[in-house]
Amino acid sequence: MRDDGRAVAEAEATSEPAPEPGATDADGEPFSPQALPERQPIDRTGEPLLSIENVKQVIDGNVILKDISFNIWPGEIFGIMGMSGSGKTTLLRLLIGLDKPDEGSVRFKDEDITQLDEDGLNRVRKSMGMCFQYSALFDSMTVAENVAFVQRNRRDVSEEEKRERVAELLEMVEMSGNEDRMPADLSGGMRKRVSIARALMEEPELVLYDEPSSGLDPVMACNITGLIKKVSTDTGSTAVLVSHDVPNLLGICDRMMMLHNKTVQLIGTPEEMRESDIPVVHRFIHGLGTGEMTEHCSADAEVMDSVG
Q: Which residues bind another protein (CB under 8 A)?
A: 93, 96, 98, 118, 121-123, 125-126, 128-130, 132-134, 136-139, 149-150, 152-153, 198
Parallel, antiparallel or unpaired: strands 206-210 and 128-131: parallel
DSSP for 224-271, written as a single string: HHHHHHHHHHHH--EEEEE-S-HHHHHHH-SEEEEEETTEEEEEE-HH
The residue among 98, 97, 3, 93 whose CA lies nearest residue 48 is 3
Nearest-approach distance from CB 275 to another protein, in angstroms: 36
Alpha-helical regions (H) of the chain: 88-95, 118-125, 143-148, 159-172, 188-200, 218-235, 246-252, 270-275, 279-286, 295-307
Nearest-approach distance from CB 14 to another protein, in angstroms: 32
Nearest-approach distance from CB 130 to another protein, in angstroms: 4
Nearer to another protein among residue 70 and residue 132 (C-beta): 132
Nearer to another protein among residue 96 and residue 273 (C-beta): 96
Nearer to another protein among residue 130 and residue 227 (C-beta): 130
8 Å CB contact between 34 and 27:
no
Nearest-approach distance from CB 156 to another protein, in angstroms: 15
Nearest-approach distance from CB 254 to another protein, in angstroms: 23
8 Å CB contact between 48 and 11:
no
Give Cα separations from 271 to 68, 122, 265, 282, 285 (angstroms). Answer: 22, 37, 15, 12, 11
Nearer to another protein among residue 181 and residue 282 (C-beta): 181
Nearest-approach distance from CB 134 to another protein, in angstroms: 6
Nearer to another protein among residue 198 and residue 255 (C-beta): 198
